[in-house]
């Protein structure tokens, strides 16, 4: 389960999630969460926390200064009680940035490292998978280089087969209660990444609806995105059919 708030994290746990990917700004694809969020989650949650290290939205080719931000965020995430680290770096040519990824993996150890959906922006997924195996990544999150895991299912099947027992290929991206059964039938992956998103009304009584605080096409400030514990439980039940 990917979450970007305390409320979503607690809902995910209530629904039976096995692990949380903790980030901020899910609407931007997930960015590095605050130290405060990690510290409070570590106090409240007992399941493993996988912490996103991503300094900004946009591409996955950070500048030298942004890479230094990633290094420092990673150190702080470890200190705050992260159980896993999630990251992804690419070269301008669209390959896995082996040099800088190796440096961050060394900094993360002994924590396991997941390479996130930056993988879906690589020019050669099969070569990129071998690069991640060589680097010692424990897991790669991917939609099969398509908008959703269902659309990328053919590549996901190939990647799981190629990976064998050398790395975990974790499908994610647009997985719903309706398409998960098919993905389970056709793909031998053992882990799946979902958001189980929902929303609730704001607690605000006074509301100024004339101005948005962010992008004009985003949801109103008075609609709060939050994970749906009932949906999490449904995903858990569906995944249980594989066990």
The predicted pLDDT at position 222 comes to: 65
Mean local confidence (pLDDT), 58-73: 96
- Give helix 35-44 / helix 6-15 axis angle, nearest 10°: 30
Rounded Cα gap, residues 210 and 154, in angstroms? 46
| CA-closest candidate to residue 83, choices 57, 106, 59, 52 | 52
Mean local confidence (pLDDT), 63-89: 97
**How far from 123 is each of 110, 145, 160, 230, CA to CA, in Å?**
30, 10, 18, 38
The terminus-to-terminus CA distance of the chain in angstroms comes to 19
Structure tokens at 61: 């080719």
Mean local confidence (pLDDT), 46-71: 96
Average pLDDT, whole number, for the chain? 91
pLDDT tens digits, one per residue of 87-136: 999 999 999 999 999 999 999 999 999 999 999 999 999 999 999 999 99
Rounded Cα gap, residues 177 and 226, in angstroms? 17
| Residue 40 CB contacts under 8 Å (≥ 6 apart), including other chains | 6
Residue 184 has pLDDT above 90, yes or no: no
CB half-sphere exposure, 73, CA atoms < 13 A: 22
As a residue count, the chain comes to: 243
Q: Tokens 């060394």 — which residue? A: 106
The predicted pLDDT at position 219 comes to: 59
Q: Which residue has the higher pLDDT, 157 or 205?
A: 157
Mean local confidence (pLDDT), 129-145: 98
* Domains defined for the chain, CATH in brackets: 2-240 (3.20.20.380)
**How far from 237 is each of 48, 170, 241, CA to CA, in Å?**
20, 18, 7
């Amino acid at each position: 389960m990917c979450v970007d708030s305390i409320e979503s994290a607690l809902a995910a746990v209530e629904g039976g999630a096995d692990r949380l990917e903790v980030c901020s700004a899910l609407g931007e694809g997930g960015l590095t969460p605050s130290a405060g969020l990690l510290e409070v989650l570590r106090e409240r949650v007992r399941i493993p926390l996988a912490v996103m290290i991503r300094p900004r939205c946009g591409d996955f080719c950070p500048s030298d200064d942004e890479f230094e931000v990633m290094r420092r965020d990673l150190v702080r995430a470890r200190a705050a009680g992260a159980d896993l680290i999630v990251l992804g770096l690419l070269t301008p040519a669209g390959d896995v940035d082996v040099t800088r990824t190796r440096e961050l993996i060394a900094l993360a150890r002994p924590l396991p490292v997941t390479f996130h959906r930056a993988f879906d922006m690589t020019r050669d997924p099969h070569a990129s998978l071998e690069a991640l195996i060589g680097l010692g990544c424990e897991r790669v999150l991917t939609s099969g280089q398509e908008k959703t895991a269902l659309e990328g299912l053919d590549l996901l099947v190939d990647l799981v087969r190629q990976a064998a027992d050398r790395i975990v290929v974790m499908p994610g991206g647009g997985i719903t209660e309706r398409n998960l059964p098919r993905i389970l039938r056709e793909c031998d992956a053992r882990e799946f990444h979902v958001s189980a998103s929902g929303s609730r009304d704001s607690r605000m009584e006074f509301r100024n609806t004339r101005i948005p605080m962010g992008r004009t096409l985003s949801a109103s400030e008075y609609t709060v995105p939050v994970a749906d514990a009932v949906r999490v439980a449904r995903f858990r039940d569906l995944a249980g059919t594989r066990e």
